[in-house]
Amino acid sequence: METHASTTVALAFGARQLPKLVEALELPAEALPQPERARALALLLGGLAAPEAKVQAVQAGALPPLLTWLAHPASSDGVARAACACIASIAALRQGRAALADAGGVAVLTAALATVPDSAAAALRVLASSADGAAALRASPVAVTAALVGLAGAPGSTHAAAADACACLADLCRGDEGACLEALACEAPACLAALAGRALRHGSAPAGGTGPGLLHGAVRALLSIAQHGGPGRAHLREAGCIAVLARALGSPDGAAQSVAAACLAALSIDADSKLPVMVEAGPALIALLRGGPR
Would you put residue 41 in left (φ > 0), alpha (ψ -120 to 50) or beta? Answer: alpha
User: How many whole angstroms separate alpha carbon 28 and alpha carbon 21?
Assistant: 14
In 3D space, the residue among 32, 129, 36, 117 whose CA is nearest the CA of residue 80 turns out to be: 117
The alpha-helical segments, DSSP class H, found in the chain are: 2-10, 17-25, 34-46, 51-59, 63-71, 77-91, 94-102, 105-112, 117-128, 131-139, 144-153, 159-173, 177-185, 188-202, 214-226, 230-238, 241-248, 254-267, 271-289
pTM given for the model: 0.89
Q: Is 179's pLDDT higher than 80?
A: yes
Q: Is 211's pLDDT higher than 70?
A: no
User: How many whole angstroms separate alpha carbon 135 and alpha carbon 114?
Assistant: 23
Q: Write the pLDDT tens digit of every residue in 23-71.
A: 999 998 888 888 899 999 999 999 999 999 999 999 999 999 999 999 9
- Cα distances from 79 to residues 3, 65, 173, in angstroms, run 20, 12, 31
User: How many whole angstroms separate alpha carbon 17 and alpha carbon 32?
Assistant: 17
Q: Write the pLDDT tens digit of every residue in 233-286.
A: 999 999 999 999 999 998 888 899 999 999 999 999 988 889 989 998 888 888
User: How many whole angstroms separate alpha carbon 151 and alpha carbon 162?
Assistant: 7
Give residues with Cβ within 8 angstroms of 128, minimum separation 6.
Answer: 134, 137, 167, 168, 171, 172
